[in-house]
Amino acid sequence: MINVAIILGSTRPGRNGEAVAKWVYELAGRRSDAKFELVDIRDFNLPLLDEPVPPSMGRYSKEHTKAWAARIAPFDAFVFVTPEYNHGTCGALKNAIDFLYAEWNNKAAGFVSYGSAGGVRAVEQLRLVMGELQVADVRAQVMLSLRDDFENYSKFKPQAHHEKSLNTMLDQVIAWGTALKTVRQK
Ligand SMILES: Cc1cc2nc3c(=O)[nH]c(=O)nc-3n(C[C@H](O)[C@H](O)[C@H](O)COP(=O)(O)O)c2cc1C
């Protein structure tokens, strides 16, 4: 069975992302075809990228980078939970992604996004980033509307149909995450 990290990207106080990530984790936990863990990037207190050598060189010097790398390295696949900020993902998530390189390579990823337009623009940006990191991003995604899935834009109440989308996305993440294990073992 593969290990999948559900990565909570938003770090701000009062973030909607926390309820979304917990919902993903709760529904994913009902499956028996992968193991899931919730990873909150806020727990790592990452500063803005402060490594002198580009992460693709794999020479991490700071303790916070090493801790973050150690958390991400064991996973086979990722589900990024992202808000949309100014038509992109949030800076905290992009920064946390930029900190590492090899820990992301040859793995799979899916997305759960939220925003006034379902966070789709944030995910389109993230897909470009995934290409550079050699992450295989799956087609299915969960797009949550601030208007229709959050009461008063703040209390998370997802419409029932999102559960099916979530499981379709997870099916794809698990399939590709499993397949790519063979690439990493070579
Ligand atoms: C800096 C900022 C920029 C935002 N820009 C957008 C945007 O471009 N499109 C959108 O749909 N929502 C936008 N929003 C609304 C957020 O998607 C919404 O507040 C969401 O709950 C933020 O996620 P969070 O609560 O987990 O931090 C923005 C919010 C913030 C704080």
pLDDT per residue as tens, the chain (186 positions): 999 999 999 999 999 999 999 999 999 999 999 999 999 999 999 999 999 999 999 999 999 999 999 999 999 999 999 999 999 999 999 999 999 999 999 999 999 999 999 999 999 999 999 999 999 999 999 999 999 999 999 999 999 999 999 999 999 999 999 999 999 998
Residue 63: per-residue pLDDT: 98
Whose C-alpha lies nearest to ligand 1, atom 21?
A: 16
Residue 96: per-residue pLDDT: 98
Angle at 92 between CA 24 and CA 130, to 5 degrees: 70
Give the mutation target among 24, 86, 155 for probing the ligand 1 site: most ligand atoms within 8 A of CB.
86
**Ligand 1 mean position, distance from CA 118 (Å):** 10
**Ligand 1 mean position, distance from CA 126 (Å):** 16
Residue 111: per-residue pLDDT: 98
Measured from the CA of 154, which atom of ligand 1 is nearest? Answer: 21
Measured from the CA of 83, which atom of ligand 1 is nearest? Answer: 23
Measured from the CA of 153, which atom of ligand 1 is nearest? Answer: 21
**Ligand 1 mean position, distance from CA 131 (Å):** 24
**Ligand 1 mean position, distance from CA 115 (Å):** 6
Residue 37 three-state SS: strand
Q: Residue 135: CB partners within 8 Å, gap ≥ 6?
A: 78, 104, 105, 106, 107, 108, 109
Q: Which residue has the tokens 């389109």?
A: 124
Task: Give the binding-site residues of ligand 1, using a 6 Å CB cut-off.
Answer: 10, 12, 15-17, 83-87, 115-117, 146
Measured from the CA of 15, which atom of ligand 1 is nearest? Answer: 25
Residue 19: per-residue pLDDT: 98
Pairing of strands 34-40, 150-151: unpaired
Q: What is the C-alpha separation between 128 and 108, in angstroms, rounded?
A: 14
Tens digit of pLDDT for each residue in 71-103?
999 999 999 999 999 999 999 999 999 999 999
Residue 186: per-residue pLDDT: 83
Measured from the CA of 20, which atom of ligand 1 is nearest? Answer: 26
Whose C-alpha lies nearest to ligand 1, atom 27?
A: 15
